[in-house]
Amino acid sequence: MSTRWTIETHDTVTSTMDLARKRARAGAADGLVVVAEEQTGGRGRRGNRWESPQGGLWLTVLLRSPDALDPLVTVAGALAAADACSRSTGVDVRIKWPNDLYAGGAKLGGVMAEAASRTVLLGIGINANVSAGRLPSVEYYRTTSLALEAGSPVGLVELRETLLEELEVRLAMVSSGDPGVVEEWRARSLELGRRVVASRGAETFQGVATAIRDDGGLVLDVSGERVVLMPHGDVTLGLLGKAGAEG
Ligand code: BTN
Kindly report the pTM of this predicted structure: 0.94
Pocket flag, ligand 1, residue 43 (CB < 6 Å) = yes
The pLDDT value recorded for residue 111 is 97
For ligand 1, is residue 102 a contact (CB within 6 Å)?
Answer: no
Cα–Cα distance for residue pair 221/230, rounded to 1 Å: 11
Band of the pLDDT at 92, cuts 50, 70, 90?
Answer: very high
Q: Do the first three CATH levels of 6-188 and 194-242 match, i.e. the same topology?
A: no
User: Which atom of ligand 1 is the closest one to the Cα of 110?
Assistant: 3
Q: Where are the domains of the chain?
A: 6-188, 194-242
Tens-digit pLDDT profile for residues 19-63: 999 999 999 999 999 999 999 999 999 899 999 999 999 999 999
Mean pLDDT (whole number) for 147-161: 97
- Half-sphere exposure of residue 239, counting CA atoms within 13 Å on the CB side? 19
Residue 218, strand partner residues: 212, 230
The predicted pLDDT at position 242 comes to 66
Instruction: Judge contact between 2 and 165, C-beta under 8 A.
Output: yes
Percent of the chain surpassing pLDDT 90: 72
Confidence of residue 243 (pLDDT cuts 50, 70, 90): low
Give the closest residue to 65 by CA, choosing from 35, 31, 26: 31
| Confidence class for position 204, pLDDT limits 50, 70, 90 | confident
Q: Whose CA is nearest to atom 16 of ligand 1?
A: 123
Q: How confident is the model at residue 246 (pLDDT cuts 50, 70, 90)?
A: very low
Q: Confidence class of residue 76 from pLDDT cuts 50, 70 and 90? A: very high
Is domain 6-188 annotated with CATH 3.30.930.10? yes
Looking at residue 247, what is its pLDDT?
36
- Topology (CATH) of 194-242: SH3 type barrels. (2.30.30)
CA distance 102 to 6: 28
> Which of 12, 57, 58 most suits a substitution to test ligand 1, by most atoms within 8 Å of the C-beta?
58
Estimate the crossing angle of helix 180-188 against helix 156-175, to 10 degrees: 130
